[in-house]
Amino acid sequence: MIVREATAADFEAIWPIFHEIAFAGETYGYRRDISKEEARLLWMEKPRKTYVAEESDEILGTYYIKTNHDGPGAHVCNCGYMVSSAARGKGLATSMCEHSQTEALKLGYKAMQFNFVASSNAGAVRLWNKLGFETVGKLPNAFEHPGLGFVDALVMYKWLES
């Protein structure tokens, strides 16, 4: 598997992954009926960089990196990760998160923050903890899960410089 910077043409392969995850409504704060064009803008245009994880020329996952806040908070980045359901359990999220931390440092960031992690997304919470992220805040009932109702959203943070 390789992780590389995405090209505009890659969005055609990213869209089915994005759509599947957004439509499920279980992990991201995107509208479940988000349009392809809105998704392209959010995932490809607004971030500082977008990457894909591919194997045998097939895109299996993707992530973006962007500045979390301007001004005095510009040294903190934010990332979002998506893995195709067909490729889950193969370590792609781990590889992409590790890659994103290296890239963040290259881009001049000193910390990474995940702003809105659904507490019900146990796999992600477990992985982010394993990779050194701390839960630094909890937003009670901030995420409306389609099956579980209102669940907490977590703010997770990691200082990247040693």
- Token pair in block for residue 129: 């903890």
Question: Hey, which residues does 3 pair with through a beta bridge?
Answer: 53
Residue whose tokens read 């997770």: 156
Ordered by where they begin, the domains of the chain are 2-114 (3.40.630.30)
pLDDT in tens, 47-80: 999 999 999 999 999 999 999 999 999 999 999 9
- Token pair in block for residue 55: 């194997």
pLDDT at 152: 98
Residue 43 CB neighbours (<10 A): 22
The amino acid at 87: A
Entry pTM: 0.95
Candidates 22, 129, 148, 144; CA nearest to 82 is 22
pLDDT at 161: 84
CA 110 – CA 160 distance, rounded (Å)? 5
Stretch 27-56: mean pLDDT: 97
Residue 147 CB neighbours (<10 A): 8
Residue whose tokens read 């895109």: 59
pLDDT in tens, 103-140: 999 999 999 999 999 999 999 999 999 999 999 999 99
Residue whose tokens read 């759509």: 19
